[in-house]
Amino acid sequence: MVKFLGVIDKINFKICLVAMWACFFLMCMTTIHAVLRKFTSFGGFTDNVDITNLTMILIVFCGLAFMESERGHVRVNVFVDKFPIGSRRVVQAIMYFITTIILFIMFYAVVKNIGPMMHSGAATTALHIPNWPFAIILSVGVFFYALTALLHAIGFCGKPPEEKKEGIGEIDVTNQL
């Protein structure tokens, strides 16, 4: 299970690279657009809103799976931290399972709409960029986010990791901060 989660984490990082490049592209495009608008009569890019919206889809949905791999999302642990460790693990597992169910429903809905999007020719209004490739990328990001959340939920159901005790020669740096 740990090896499989490691493989999924590597895939999530590769997907996150798409988000990073999309963010870099969006920053460059926004900068060029602002400079052109300010210093030339050209006025910038035509309908950069379409490109911005599609790029934001890439940034958000390709970054979600990596965020879950790194457990980088914000959690409110004020309530959960009051429980003993066993109960805390159960509550966290339940929360991960609920998250997983919602994400797989979202994945199903997006995948179900890819075909009709392709056949209807849905595209952006100004630049006529087709929407279906972005729906495919969105579904891949949501699938790996759901799979990672499921593996984390299963991890909470298993044997808890043994707590490391301070031994001879070890320094507890948490109390020194």
- The Cα 138–Cα 151 span in angstroms is 20
pLDDT of residue 169: 47
**Span 121-158, pLDDT tens digits:** 999 888 888 999 999 999 999 999 999 989 888 888 87
What tokens does 1 get? 């299970």
Burial class (CB in 10 A: 0-12, 13-18, 19+), 64: buried
pLDDT of residue 75: 66
DSSP assignment of 29-45, as one string?
HHHHHHHHHHHSSS-S-
Residues 6 or more apart whose CB falls under 8 angstroms from that of 110 comprise: 135, 138, 139, 142
Residue owning tokens 């990791």: 161
Alpha-carbon torsion angle 22, 25, 30, 31, nearest 10: 140
Out of 80-84, 99-103, 129-133, 140-144, pick the least confident.
80-84
- The Cα 96–Cα 103 span in angstroms is 10
Contact 85, 162 (CB under 8 A): no
What tokens does 163 get? 């707590």
- More confident: 24 or 171: 24
- More confident: 134 or 160: 134
Query: Rounded mean pLDDT of the chain?
Result: 83
Q: What is the rounded average pLDDT of the residues 90-109?
A: 92
The DSSP letter of residue 127 is T
